[in-house]
């Protein structure tokens, strides 16, 4: 499974749009999480999206470097190599990048793809996200236009956001915003289309009350009909070809019935981070608690190398990640729908 080419990635998104399903997009921070993602997609015969945040890049670069670009490149290159051994497609994507990090994160990564293309190598990333949603929409679209032009020149798809995803993720804290900020308006959706449609292919994270993090049932007030109404308004004005490739952020903990409503409205990608983080950590905690006397050298004892060897619990973390992501493939209806065999 080579990482999808730009053409194959476009075909993935088209297939999801036409088939009313979406791809899980998992944030990765390590080889363990990459391998968990690849296992899940392969097991489910689902294509998928592996993505890296600025914080994930910083973490992956190590404590001495703290370099979000270096870490993102390392994780992406590792995914390219590992993905060759599988028979489904994955795309590489970068998650929320705020406007003040365009020059320090997005542009260096776009330049790295340009360098690779000049050397006859495939794109490092197939898509990037610019999250300028904290800015007034006019400023947001001005930044989005500039970055989309850079992306389109390298056959990269840009994801943009209008409206704000609530909660907190990777240092971006929108937990105190007023509720009305969490819902993208129909007028906003029309503006996004008219601002970007002539510049290159893009995905759109329209917000409908979704939040990052995990919450008890009933705490989050989703209004998926916002997506339906916005899609209808854009297509009524600009034709059926104007239908957005929508992205669902803050999907962790959402009931399956609400997830699947959004698929009928054009969602082709759903980010899943909080749930997979928990699925990674839960079996590690279980291992530590069940093997406490072996993991630690207590009262002069020597412990048990077999249980404090990091591989003993990180394999369980990989399995936990893969199992949760497999469930996401089922929820998003992507299981069994890989297009790899038809496009390779």
Tens-digit pLDDT profile for residues 287-327: 999 999 999 999 999 999 999 999 999 999 999 999 999 99
C-alpha 136/C-alpha 225 separation (Å) is 24
Q: What is the pLDDT of residues 168-213, one digit of tens each?
A: 445 544 444 445 566 899 999 999 999 999 999 999 999 888 765 5
The number of CA neighbours under 13 Å toward the Cβ of 61 is 17
C-alpha 2/C-alpha 85 separation (Å) is 8
* Confidence band, pLDDT 50/70/90 cuts, at residue 24: very high
Q: What is the pLDDT of residue 217?
A: 47
Q: What is the pLDDT of residue 188?
A: 94
Q: What is the pLDDT of residues 62-101, one digit of tens each?
A: 999 999 999 999 999 999 999 999 999 999 999 999 999 9
Model-wide pTM > 0.85: yes
Q: What is the pLDDT of residue 168?
A: 45
Place of tokens 């994270």: 205
Structure tokens at 241: 């070809």
Q: What is the pLDDT of residues 147-168, one digit of tens each?
A: 999 999 999 999 999 975 544 4
> Whole-angstrom distance between the N-terminal and C-terminal Cα of the chain?
9
Catalytic positions: 95
Domains along the chain?
Answer: 6-282+320-343 (3.20.20.70)
Burial of 234 (0-12, 13-18, 19+ CB in 10 A): buried
What percent of the chain is predicted at pLDDT more than 70? 90
* Confidence band, pLDDT 50/70/90 cuts, at residue 223: confident
Give the chain's mean pLDDT: 92
Mean pLDDT of 218-223: 65
Structure tokens at 60: 């992956």
Q: What is the pLDDT of residue 250?
A: 79
């Amino acid at each position: 499974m080579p990482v999808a080419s730009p053409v194959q990635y476009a075909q993935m998104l088209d297939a999801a749009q036409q088939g009313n399903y979406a791809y899980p997009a998992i944030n990765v921070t390590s080889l363990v999480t990459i391998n968990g993602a690849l296992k899940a997609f392969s097991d489910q015969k689902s294509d998928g999206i592996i993505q890296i945040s600025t914080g994930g890049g910083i973490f992956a670069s190590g404590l001495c470097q703290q370099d979000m670009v270096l870490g993102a490149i390392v994780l992406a290159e590792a995914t390219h190599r590992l993905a060759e051994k599988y028979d489904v497609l994955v795309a590489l994507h970068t998650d929320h990048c705020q406007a003040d990090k365009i020059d320090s994160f997005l542009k260096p990564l776009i330049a790295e793809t340009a360098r690779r293309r000049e050397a006859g190598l495939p794109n490092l990333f197939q898509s990037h996200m610019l999250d300028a949603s904290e800015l007034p929409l006019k400023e947001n679209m001005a930044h989005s236009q500039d970055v989309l032009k850079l992306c389109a020149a390298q056959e990269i798809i840009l994801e943009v956001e209008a409206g704000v995803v609530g909660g907190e993720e990777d240092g971006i804290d929108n937990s105190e915003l007023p509720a009305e900020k969490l819902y993208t308006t129909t007028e906003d959706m029309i503006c996004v289309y008219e601002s970007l449609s002539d510049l290159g292919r893009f995905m759109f994270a329209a917000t409908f009350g979704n939040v990052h993090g995990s919450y008890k049932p009933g705490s989050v007030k989703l209004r998926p009909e916002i997506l339906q109404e916005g899609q209808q308004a854009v297509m009524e004005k600009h034709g059926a070809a104007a239908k957005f490739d929508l992205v669902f952020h803050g999907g962790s903990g959402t009931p399956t019935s609400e997830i699947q409503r959004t698929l009928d409205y054009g969602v082709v990608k759903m980010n899943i981070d909080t749930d997979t983080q928990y699925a990674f950590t839960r079996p590690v905690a279980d291992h530590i608690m069940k093997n406490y006397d072996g993991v630690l050298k207590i009262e002069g004892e020597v412990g048990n190398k077999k249980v404090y060897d990091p591989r003993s619990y990180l394999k369980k973390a990989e399995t936990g990640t893969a199992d949760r992501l497999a469930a996401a493939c089922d929820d998003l209806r992507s299981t069994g729908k890989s297009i790899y065999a038809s496009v390779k």
